[in-house]
Structure 1
């Protein structure tokens, strides 16, 4: 078989995954069928065992069940949503305070769950009724939750960054640290848009009736979430523990705090464990199938072909093309499938321009974040639409448009100044 024929087969396999997933076949099954069929056709099934065994031996694989259990335990213990509650109290006298509290609450939820979609489903039910009840513009209410939820793609322990690390062979701890600068800049941009919006349209965010809760009491209630985040980031940054070790410590602390505060009972612990196991099986199946699929792409020579093509394209143009591809994929597949399909392109782009997989992973995570909010089928917005019927998707999309410019500025900064993604990761 010629190299051109193998390359064509690899591209056909990628198209098949997109088609099958768009037809609502489970992501894991789509990747498995395309990868296994491709390897069998190429007579290279034996080449799959080594990469699969390597994935199973990777200690970072433990992060999948650990992060899921951490997120579920923090949710049932009430830690994941306290950042929003405390922020709403502290910012209650500032116009637009509830919208900024929603964004900060999403950041707090993402910092324990690692999931943008889960954040959108939960925080929309918590933050949006408060904003709508206070008379907020539905566009601002929906968009603040949608934008805040996308921080789950960059803030540790992001499941997208975990998947990237496992599939690209990059230490996940480095990915966690590398995502922080982009997440902080994105958060600052979202807050700036809220302040600009309410300054130019005061009626978009009327001042609510003050809550009879002191700011000090709110801060005392919120302490578990920042402590857990500090343990996670600090432990990895100072080299005290590995990423799985840091998450395991956070999980143990969450369980201890929850039991001591009588927020975690035998019943809620069982629910958290059951949900975590179900979610872990689903994600692990996707990762194993993705590893098989990516092995076929290697056999087909797709990475080498992409690297040759990327070498002659300026970096900003190449990222723009990759972003357009992610925007199209965002209409058809979920974020994890998007990451798998775009991984060879991102790695080829990084290699052609002398940049490493850490930078490529952060740029791709940022592109996936943007794709999750783009009309007409941004996944995060659709999730919010299903959770809060009072605010239709088209209304949230109309609000999201105002947040896109600073989000794209952050992406441009990552492209033009690659060291930004490596400032903390090293």
Structure 2
């Protein structure tokens, strides 16, 4: 009867269209009071313990850095850099779109930010150059998902927080799968557009693009190099990314380079002119900070609630009992692994990635470990499954955002991503079967 009451409470709130945060909070309170024989005060304590973690700072830092770079000029300069070197290849602009998404993903950690930043530039360029609308939508929506597997990845940070797995190791483990998926997307883009006209290579143009984009390309090298060598932690990497982005957007990538101050202007006047004509200004920065804060207002309460539920489950021993039951009834580790992946694929179709990680990671990680799967490798497997969910209805965020951003029907978006979903399914199998793809940098 107690569990039926909890189910009735959750269903009733969903029928009343309450937010997921409120539904989970009420269910957590119910479990504390009626299942765990605890007190509501314990919930507040759990929230404090969940929020009192240094690694949590990395999430707002990476999110804010990504939003600053997407609203500034870094995304455009990355696209120019990639296209300068892919233009002689058949389908070079399409390949540049994939590579640009991968490069931008490596400096912001978000799928949606990556897709919007690169898509706002590449989608009109692709369609104007004769590429089909379906391919342009599918390529950008799919390549945008590279933002959650190529480090720094906010979902990888969430997985590390919920399972106490080293986040620096998770970042390193995401490099191989991310580069492999990028190569598979780029190869497909080349193949289907191999009859598109090519552009001659321009050494002068490539040099200008390199000068313009070198600072943007250097950022992921600095971050991952610092993490790999132990110079700084993932949280410090987020601070480095934000500080780097602000310096580059405010003082380097400025329109003042092409709009010089009027003749005779003094030093103070030149500084005022620079501040008025740069790509990023304080007013736009305030807007970016506000947008990031709104996203965090949804994410952080969910994280605290999920951590509280995880604490209750850990004290009750439910995950251990579930693992023992499954192992006692299923002999084959591969059957268990297939079941885990099917569950995650379904979860990715009906839940957002953050919620799925917060709910399933603490439950499934012990099960995966019981059949010999490295917890770091399992983190990559989990994120890879949920990454496909970004492209599957009904809650595929990239589908919804692509529909709104590119002004096409939902059906068109779904059809456009189907070849890329097939590629991702093959990629997922490779990642599962060959752990070295994920773990080679950790050996």
> Structure 2 length as normaliser, TM-score?
0.84
**C-alpha root-mean-square deviation of aligned residues, in Å?**
2.9
Are residue 420 (structure 1) and residue 437 (structure 2) matched? yes
Which 10-residue stretch deviates more, 29-38 or 220-229? 29-38
Larger Rg: 2
Q: Which residue of 2 aligns with 1:74?
A: 69
Give the Å deviation of 1:366: 0.3
Q: Secondary structure at the match of 2:231?
A: coil
Which 10-residue stretch deviates more, 153-162 or 253-262? 253-262
Rounded to whole Å, the distance in 2 between the matches of 1:176 and 1:188 is 19
Which 10-residue stretch deviates more, 231-240 or 54-63? 54-63
Rounded to whole Å, the distance in 1 between the matches of 2:326 and 2:124 is 47
* Residues 160-196 of structure 1 deviation map (CA, whole Å, 9 limit, x = unaligned): 1111111111222221111111101111111111122
Are residue 393 (structure 1) and residue 387 (structure 2) matched? no
Rounded to whole Å, the distance in 1 between the matches of 2:16 and 2:121 is 32
Give the Å deviation of 1:242: 1.0
Q: Which residue of 2 aligns with 1:371?
A: 389
Gaps of 5+ in 2: 255-278
Are residue 172 (structure 1) and residue 189 (structure 2) matched? no
Rounded to whole Å, the distance in 2 between the matches of 1:301 and 1:270 is 46
Give the Å deviation of 1:364: 0.6
Which structure ranks higher in relative contact order (CA pairs < 8 Å, sequence separation ≥ 6)? 1
Count residues in correspondence: 414
Q: Which residue of 2 aligns with 1:97?
A: 92
Are residue 317 (structure 1) and residue 364 (structure 2) matched? no
Rounded to whole Å, the distance in 2 between the matches of 1:324 and 1:19 is 28
Q: After TM superposition, list the pairs within 5 Å mapping 1:1-400 onto structure 2.
A: 25-42=18-35, 43-45=37-39, 48=43, 51-199=46-194, 202=195, 205=196, 207=198, 214-261=205-252, 262=254, 263-311=279-327, 312=330, 314-375=332-393, 377-389=395-407, 391-400=408-417
Give the Å deviation of 1:387: 1.0
Tell whether the 8 Å contact from 2:167 to 2:234 is kept in structure 1 after alignment: yes
Rounded to whole Å, the distance in 2 between the matches of 1:399 and 1:83 is 25
Gaps of 5+ in 1: none
Q: Secondary structure at the match of 2:441?
A: coil
Tell whether the 8 Å contact from 2:337 to 2:368 is kept in structure 1 after alignment: no
> Structure 1 length as normaliser, TM-score?
0.87
Rounded to whole Å, the distance in 2 between the matches of 1:195 and 1:416 is 27
Give the Å deviation of 1:250: 2.2
Give the Å deviation of 1:351: 1.8
Rounded to whole Å, the distance in 1 between the matches of 2:55 and 2:107 is 17
